[in-house]
Structure 1
Amino acid sequence: MTKAASAAAKDLAAAGVTGVQIAWADNNGIPRSRIVPITGLADAAARGVGVTTLFAVFDTHDAISYAHEGLSTPSGDVRVVPDIDRLRRLAGQPALAWAPGTIVRGEDGGPWPYCQRTLLTGAVTAAARRGYHLRAGYELEFAVAPAGSPDVASAPGHPGPAYSPHALIPLDDFVAALLHDLAGNGLRVGQLHAEYGLAQLELSLSATDPVAAADDQLLARQTIHAAAHACGLRVSFAPLVDANAAGNGWHLHTSLWRDGHNLLAGSDGPGPAGAAYLAGLLRDLPALTAVTAPSVPSTLRLRPGYFASAYAFWGVQNREAPLRYVPGTPYLGAEHANVELKPSDASANPYLALAAVLTCGLAGVDDQLVPPNPVDADPGTWTARRRKSHGIERLPTGPAEQAAALAASARVSGTLGAELLGAFQAARASDLAWAQGKTVDEIVAAHLWRY
């Protein structure tokens, strides 16, 4: 790896690159990074760059929690190692290159139990040994505002209408720069459009293996931020940008494969194994959302009637369903079949989210679960009695309910492991303590530019 890093550094330096940004995501979904000079890339690849162990217990507002026993003091150092195979020159920041980082122990370079990328890599490897392969891709929603704007509502970056080409005309330079930079950074994009929410856009990233999908998510948000800055704009990926508007979801599409066959594909819906995968996600959905939508405003976003999925059920192409089954068709092909997890947003660590999804889905396959009948309506419009008769319950409505759901699920909490679970819980408890006594508007404003 050192030899490859040296060769890459030489080529990048000749092209005018002066530094490499090594990025990772913390337990709040917030990207963190170190920049090393291009001349130091080979050394960073061999020995990593030192960072504090306390990044695992940062909360969303950069407060450090010492509540987790394993990281209860300011002493300790680990190393962040760039993945040279994923090294990219940033098209929108041409003096910099970018690589995702894996955090290892400082004393011997061995696995650090708090590294989410290591956790996902291990889960993917374990699944592959059993013959299973997951494909995953993100849809990213974000709101646009002029640079320097304190919020989105007072100065929306586009006036709408939703889904209209007219909405994007004021953002023409940004759209052009963004598509150029995404392609230059090696990110394959399905589409980009004006979305339903306030000054909202959405782009979809093509499906790939889970670790690459998580890496791509981090790189995409870096690319979007840089393109917006270059065009005099700023973007918000926050779950809510206004208390009365539809929020930003980062919908996670997955499909499970074995022997080259998409197990979610079938002439009348998913086959037995694919259905069991979907049922596994549904069984642990309350605990999953504690990982995939974990911030204080995340649960505020999950309201009935906002295409945000407030109740636990699944449906075929039902955009109110938290688990939306997208079938393959003769027109699109069997490989198109997937499950969209809608209670997912930018406050989730993507590596952690994908590890939990993979584990819960495969547990459903192992247990040969059979999902209930799909729902083609919005249960939010039903009476409580009718929802109860269909076994449909509300997803957690606040951090305390999410914490209880996570603690009650041996599969989700077991995926994280004792150390990472403890750090994750400490960050969530710190966020909850911060939010006590604050209004919804205060909570929304404090999260607006965090991601």
Structure 2
Amino acid sequence: MTKAASAAAKDFAAAGVGGVHLAWADNNGIPRSRIVPVAGLADAATRGVGATSLFAVFDSHDSITYQHEGLATPSGDIRLVPVVERLRRLAGQPTLAWAPVRQLTRDGDPWPYCQRAVLEAQVAEAARRGLEFRAGYELEFAVAPAGSSDVLATPGHPGPAYSPHALVPLDGFVGALLHDFAANGLRIGQLHAEYGVAQLELSLAPADPVSAADDQLLARQTIHAAARVHGLAVSFAPLVGLGAAGNGWHLHTSVRRRGRRLLDGDGRPDGEGAGYLAGLLRDLPALTAITAPSVPSTLRLRPGYFAGAYAFWGVENREAPLRYVPGSALLGDGHANVELKTSDASANPYLALAAVLAAGMAGIEDAPALPEPIGEDPGGWTDEDRAARGVHPLPANPAEQDAALVASPRIAGVLGAELLGAFRAVRASDAAWAADRTADEIIAAHLWRY
């Protein structure tokens, strides 16, 4: 890796690159980074860059909680080692490059709080079982003029939803996104004006799970940079206003066993594919504690907003938190996948994918029963009707999310005792911060965090 890093540094320097972002996401889904001069890239690839171990217990408001026993003092250091094969020059920030990092101990050993390593372990376990996963994100975000403090008061485009006219004022920004994504090695499936106020959505092409998580972080960097150049700011927050449609970062996954597609089926998956979907459904409350973990996340998960407020699955049902997307004669059987809608930018992408893989693999292993799909919105049903169909609300506050997480040995076990403790401490710190604040105050405080 040292040789590859040295060669990359030489090429970057010749192209005018002065530094490299070494990037990761914390337990709140917030990207963090250290910039090293391009001349120091090879050394960083060999020995890493020092950082405090307390990043694992930063909460969403940059406060440090000492309530996790393993990280209960300000003492401790880790090394951030760039993943050289993912190095990219940033098209929208041409004097900078970017790479995700692994977090290691000072001695270069695995650090139990490294979220990327957690996902890598699940991918390795999948390979041991003969399984191969693909994953891709849909990213929703709201646009406002730079310096805005309120997307609703100063929307970045006038609508209508899904209209080409809505994007005319953003023509330069949209063009930059298309150019910069391609230049940064990111493939977009499509981009459009979404349903929410000043909302856009773009979809990333599927990749292996670790690359998909890396791509999600790089996509954020790319979008923020393009927005700045065009006098805009973007909000990836789960909500930009209490009555507005939220920003979901929908997570699509598919799975194969030694080349055989498991999610293909005649309108619904069967066999191991049904087990995969049933495993996700069984652990959905605990999954949501990882994939939509912030206080605004719980405010977003409401009936009627295509966000997923109840635990059920459906075939092409956009109100379902688990939406099965079947193949078709036009698209081909290989198109079949499962979309998790209870996912947003406050989730660490590596932990989110690791939890999804673990829940799905457990379902393939022990084949829990998959109930019948639901094609309606259970939010309009009575409590009795929902209970009769086995449809229950997903956790609606941090305490319920925490209870669901610790009640699932499959999901809690993915993180490991150390990381689980830090994650729970961060969530408790966020909950304590929000306890005496209004919903509007909570939403405003998270608006530009991601």
TM-score (norm 1): 0.99
The alignment partner of 2:302 has SS state of coil
Cα distance in 2 for partners of 1:105, 1:271 equals 44
Structure-2 residue corresponding to 1:28: 28
TM-score (norm 2): 0.99
Structure-1 residue corresponding to 2:8: 8
Asked if structure 1 preserves the Cα contact closer than 8 Å seen for 2:30 and 2:60, the reply is: yes
Cα distance in 1 for partners of 2:195, 2:147 equals 24
Deviation at 1:312, TM superposition (A): 0.3
Cα distance in 2 for partners of 1:221, 1:293 equals 17
Written as runs of structure 1 = structure 2, the 5 A alignment for 1:247-258 is: 247-258=246-257
For 1:151, give the aligned amino acid.
Answer: D
CA shift digits 1:379-422 (9 cap, x unpaired): 00111110000000000111110011001111110110000000
Deviation at 1:269, TM superposition (A): 2.0
Deviation at 1:151, TM superposition (A): 1.2
Cα distance in 2 for partners of 1:104, 1:310 equals 38
The alignment partner of 1:343 has SS state of coil
Written as runs of structure 1 = structure 2, the 5 A alignment for 1:210-225 is: 210-225=209-224
Deviation at 1:260, TM superposition (A): 1.1
Structure-2 residue corresponding to 1:324: 323
Runs (5+) with no aligned partner, structure 2 = none
For 1:376, give the aligned amino acid.
Answer: G
Deviation at 1:266, TM superposition (A): 1.8
- Does 1:417 find its partner at 2:434? no
Cα distance in 2 for partners of 1:309, 1:118 equals 29
Deviation at 1:88, TM superposition (A): 0.3
CA shift digits 1:338-386 (9 cap, x unpaired): 0000000000000000000000000001002221000000000111110
Cα distance in 2 for partners of 1:390, 1:42 equals 58
Structure-2 residue corresponding to 1:51: 51
Structure-1 residue corresponding to 2:66: 66
CA shift digits 1:24-67 (9 cap, x unpaired): 00000000000000000000000000000000000000000000
For 2:287, give the aligned amino acid.
Answer: L
Written as runs of structure 1 = structure 2, the 5 A alignment for 1:34-433 is: 34-106=34-106, 108-433=107-432
The alignment partner of 2:425 has SS state of helix
Cα distance in 2 for partners of 1:399, 1:201 equals 28
Cα distance in 1 for partners of 2:312, 2:352 equals 19
Cα distance in 2 for partners of 1:79, 1:12 equals 23
Deviation at 1:130, TM superposition (A): 1.3
The alignment partner of 2:124 has SS state of helix
Runs (5+) with no aligned partner, structure 1 = none
For 2:145, give the aligned amino acid.
Answer: P
Deviation at 1:268, TM superposition (A): 3.6
Cα distance in 2 for partners of 1:265, 1:49 equals 45
Cα distance in 2 for partners of 1:415, 1:254 equals 18
For 1:16, give the aligned amino acid.
Answer: G
Asked if structure 1 preserves the Cα contact closer than 8 Å seen for 2:112 and 2:418, the reply is: yes
CA shift digits 1:113-147 (9 cap, x unpaired): 00000110111011101110110000000000000
| Identical-pair percentage | 73
Cα distance in 2 for partners of 1:170, 1:439 equals 34
Greater than 4 Å deviation, 4+ residue runs: none
Deviation at 1:267, TM superposition (A): 2.9
For 2:324, give the aligned amino acid.
Answer: Y
Q: Matched residue pairs, number?
A: 450
For 1:199, give the aligned amino acid.
Answer: A
The alignment partner of 1:432 has SS state of helix
The alignment partner of 2:361 has SS state of helix
The alignment partner of 2:433 has SS state of helix
Cα distance in 1 for partners of 2:264, 2:186 equals 26
For 2:131, give the aligned amino acid.
Answer: Y
Deviation at 1:236, TM superposition (A): 0.1
